[in-house]
Structure 1
Amino acid sequence: MNEYDITVIGSGPGGYIAAIRAAQLGFKTAIVEKEENLGGICLNWGCIPTKSLLRASEVYRLIRRSEEFGIKVKDTSFDIQSIVKYSRNVVDKLSSGVEYLMKKNNIKVHQGFGKLAGNRTIKILNDKKEEEISSKHIILATGVRARNLPGIEVDGDLIWNAQHAMTPKKLPKSLLIIGSGAIGIEFASFYSTLGVDVTIIEVKDTILPLEDKDISNLAQEIFTKQGIKIYTSNSVKTFTKNKDSVQVQLSGGDNKEFDRVIVAVGVQANTENIGLENTKIKLSPSGFIETNEWYETSESSVYAIGDVAGPPCLAHKASHEAVICVEKIAGKNAHKLKKECIPNCTYSHPQVASVGLTEEQAIKSGYDIKVGKFHSNFNGKSIALSETEGLVKTIIDKKTGELLGSHMIGAEVTELISNFALAKQLEGTDFDIKSTIFPHPTISEMIHESVLAADGESLNS
């Protein structure tokens, strides 16, 4: 039987980072992965392929707008299969990169389905054989999968999940997206840009319900202007499959027919059949593995990181937890994760990003706040890019100057949000941001202006 110091089950952005850090710290390390390609859902069927698709649609959108910039392009067209191929090529390149990193760091990869067998033993099942390995420490990084809606069964034909939506054989003429979180909104943006008639329904009263309401409301206004139909405070009342379409009656009374439907209503943890019954591991009421602040479960020497250990279900959070978990095992001076410093990003057009408390959350938490807002149409770089629909909103503790939260919509805000994340991590104040020199002309100047605006000192609006 092979014996290891640390074995990771799952090779997503939590799993493979945990394995690499363990190897760097001198542990004999293995990783167990049931899929042929390493990298998990994020790399193969999530973060990376969707961003590749959105990049292709962005290029198409800019070409169609080219006359705004004095450039004439004739006969613009696209081929959906070529777009999908581009996306899959990006995935293949990065998956090969993870494989290379495993070899570089002398990490043994066991292909198969990993299951806890008790007594620090893992059973690995695959088509060819069944084997057992033992490990002093076991890290569960099994991730999540798309949640289904009762009565709306994903079939890959009329009803799609995210994976089906990434690899369409042809574009539907009309598309219903159930759910308006990051996944639903990104697919809405992609398909709408390529000319599909897109409708979103959301059970909450705003789209992007986890975002600050000013951002959600502006996003809805912009997406509606782009031609996306949005029904908030709505759900599916009746659902009927036809030969090549779906008839949907909404709870608000509308009755509509769609060529295809994407279900994007959240995720559930992959905890089935991984041997939890052979351990003392406990699950939360929502089905995630319970851990302490160092990702230790109730079973000695078994840990859980990433999406399977609970929300927010984000790749960068999983990778960060991986490092903390392994460094704690190694006895190093590991730092605790600050959840309030985890940024959220949605890669639609326009992009949406945030970190920290919303205005509503800050007020409910008892803070006396000041709020600064700066709009893209006052920013020189945004005007030069012809991307003038956007907003940076900053929430500050009036008493201490502490940065409580920041919320953005507009061009490249998924790149800008790291500035605020770093400021929060360093416990920066409004004075620190006001004192920082931002280069001109950049979109990042909106960060400076939004903080100035909290005191009525904005210089460019």
Structure 2
Amino acid sequence: MPIEVDIAIIGGGPGGYTAAVRAAQAGRSVVIIERDKLGGTCLHRGCIPSKSLLRSAEVYATIGEAAAYGVTIPEGKISVNWNTVLQRKNSIVDQLFRGLQALMKQHRIEVLNGNARIIGPSIFSPRSGAIAVELADGESETVVPKNVIIATGSRPRRLDGLAYDGVNIATSDEALDWPSRPSSILIIGGGVIGVEWASMLSDFGTEVTIIETADRLLPTEDKDMGAELAKALRKRGVKIITSASLQTAGCKVSDTGVQAEVITKGETLSLNAERMLVSVGRQGNVENLGLENTDVKSDKGFVLVNPITLQSGESHIYAIGDCIGGIQLAHAAMHEASVAIDHLLGRKISRTADRDIPRCIYSRPEAASIGWTEADAKAQGFPIRTAKLPFRILGKALVYGEVEGFAKVVADSASGDLLGVHLVGAHATELIAEASLAKLLDAVPWEVGRTIHPHPTLSEAMQEVMLALDGGASHG
């Protein structure tokens, strides 16, 4: 007998399980169909495991600087046990995975482990949307839902012509399980993932080279952010080659590692490293879903949806998260899940624009942003004013010994509206939440500046930079 439910969700990542819980809380029956493990890329191959590695690297780097804090390490010897680093990462992932499984049971959400394929009108349903599920144990099921939510996520985009083997040449998926730390590495791509891996591996002592096609790191973020992180990474010995094109045909793997050819500013460089990490963006998982049996359309590897309601070409089929493109972040998928569920339940909806979803980089120092960059605000025709204050003016930053970075605000000089906030510095990924709240409440900079911030804290950076717009900063 087919499984009849109110909502079937294809994909059990952050978007999928958030949608499932919200629907179940509203009294709807829900099935999640997940081909791998509940938690998706974020839990198993992205957000959580990578941040665990970054934390281990940060601790190692901090211990290496202990003498500056008056702490002496006996004989001055510290080392990294890579197996323990991986075990800690896996333990964290396993704990969260078990927590998700318990959450599904708590809300009586059925999880089917298998591959889902949407079928057209049939004996099961007069309209498309029934789902044939090939279970992991070889059996099959048919799910007949009233509504479908596609939340299949994404995977690392690969460059044609490279001989990926998961070790010598790998994406971030495989690199998370490398059995050893590379002595040297070429990172192809200077976006968020590339910068995080460069920071982490350089802290562990790896010789790192970043190769980026744009003229700077983090080309989609504010120019000042990319420049500040480039300065910090170069200070730690990371080599950064911008305006560069990797010649995939010239990449070779030998017993000594990877040899690559890069063209930059008319010059051909021959580079060598033990391994290569390719981080050039992500593409949606939209293949083999049976979309051709429906009026759901895709373009360039992403499902097309109504930007407000997140409905596809079939009003009862929604799509959320990485598989629709846009800003590919776990918390964006969670927000979209809430929007989709609210819409199909007939509730009032309000989808936040991609630019107003916080964007975080968990490097050392951290970076975070929300809203318009200075350049984009100008391009949109806003009459802007900006303020920028260095973290080094903060007493807490000096106490922590983490003085790199700045806080920058972009505002509309005519209306006074807050357009964008850009942070580089210790705990920037936590501090950006205040800017996110300010955007939600439509607060103007002086209101944030008038808010009392405790002293000494890093949060004072937000207060001071907002006051600086009107020349009122206490420390600027």
TM-score interval, normalised by the smaller of the two chains: over 0.9
**Offset of 1:153 from its aligned partner?**
3.2
Query: Does the aligned pair in 2 maintain the 1:7–1:32 contact within 8 Å?
Result: yes
Q: Which amino acid aligns with 1:143?
A: G
Distance in structure 2 (CA, Å) of the matches to 1:336 and 1:215: 27
- Counterpart in 2 of 1:350? 365
SS, match of residue 244 in structure 2? coil
Give the alignment of 1:81-160 within 5 angstroms. Answer: 81-118=83-120, 119-126=128-135, 127-160=137-170
- Cα deviation, 1:278-308, whole Å, max 9, x if unaligned, reads 0011113x32111111110002311100110
Match of 1:254, SS?
strand
C-alpha displacement of 1:338 = 2.8
Alignment pair present for 1:194 and 2:204 = yes
C-alpha displacement of 1:38? 0.9
Cα 1:365–1:384, aligned 2, differ >3 Å: closer, same or farther? same
Match in the other structure for 1:170: 180
Match of 2:123 in 1: none
- Tell me what 2:125 maps to: none
For residue 444 of structure 2, the aligned residue among 420, 429, 435 is 429
Query: Distance between the aligned counterparts of 1:27 and 1:173, measured in 2?
Result: 52
Where does residue 256 of structure 1 map in the other structure? Answer: 271
1:337 to 2:352 alignment: yes
Moved more, 244-253 or 43-52: 244-253
TM-score of the aligned structures, taking structure 2 as reference length: 0.95
Structure 2: which 5+ runs fail to align? 121-127
Task: Name the residue aligned to 2:433.
Answer: 418
Which of residues 311, 315, 326 is equivalent to 1:300? Answer: 315
Decide whether the 8 Å contact of 1:370 with 1:455 is kept in 2: no
Query: In structure 2, what is the Cα distance between the partners aligned to 1:111 and 1:209?
Result: 39
Does structure 2 conserve the Cα–Cα contact (< 8 Å) formed by 1:158 and 1:244?
Answer: no
Q: How does 1:169-248 map to 2 (within 5 A)?
A: 169-237=179-247, 238-248=250-260
Range that drifts further, 259-268 or 449-458: 449-458
Which amino acid is 1:373 matched to?
K
Secondary structure in 2 aligned to 1:7?
strand
The Cα offsets for residues 151-210 of structure 1, whole Å up to 9 and x where unpaired, read as 113211210111221112112211000001111111111111111100000000110111
Aligned counterpart, 1:323: 338
User: What's the Cα RMSD here?
Assistant: 1.0
Percent of aligned positions that are identical = 40
Partner of 1:261: helix, strand, or coil?
strand
Match of 1:112, SS state, is strand
Residue 341 of structure 1: how far off its partner (Å): 1.6
1:458 corresponds to 2:476: no
Q: In the TM superposition, what is the alpha-carbon distance from 1:433 to its structure 2 partner?
A: 1.2
Alignment of 1:392-403 (within 5 A): 392-403=407-418
User: How many residues matched?
Assistant: 459
Give the Cα–Cα distance (whole angstroms) in 2 for the partners of residues 23 and 169 of structure 1.
40
Match of 2:31 in 1: 30
Partner of 2:389: 374
Once the two structures are superposed, the pairs formed by residues 279-290 of structure 1 within 5 Å of their partners are: 279-284=294-299, 286-290=300-304
Offset of residue 244 of structure 1: 3.7
Q: Do 1:34 and 1:111's aligned partners in 2 also have CA atoms closer than 8 Å?
A: yes
Report what 1:18 is aligned to. Answer: 19
State the match for 1:439 in structure 2: 454
Deviation at 1:76, TM superposition (A): 1.1
Contact in 1 for aligned 2:51/2:362 (Cα 8 Å): yes
> Partner of 1:30: helix, strand, or coil?
strand
Give the conservation status (yes or no) of the 8 Å contact 2:385–2:413.
yes
Using structure 1 for the length normalisation, give the TM-score. 0.98
Q: Per-residue displacement from partner, 1:374-393 (whole Å, max 9, x unpaired)?
A: 10111110000000011110
Q: Which residue of 2 aligns with 1:55?
A: 55
Q: Distance in 1 between matches of 2:64 and 2:235?
A: 17
In the alignment, structure 1 segments of 5+ residues that lack a partner are none
- The CA distance in 1 between the partners of 2:190 and 2:317, in whole Å, is 35
Instruction: Compute the displacement of 1:243 (Å).
Output: 2.6
> 3-state SS of the aligned residue for 1:175?
strand
Q: Deviations over 1:219-245 (max 9, x none)?
A: 111110111000010021221222341
Instruction: State how far apart, in whole Å, the 1-side matches of 2:450 and 2:403 are.
Output: 26
The one-letter code sitting in structure 2 at the alignment partner of 1:2 is I
Residue 199 of structure 1: SS of its match in structure 2? strand
Deviation string for 1:85-106 (max 9, x for gaps)? Answer: 1001100111111111100000
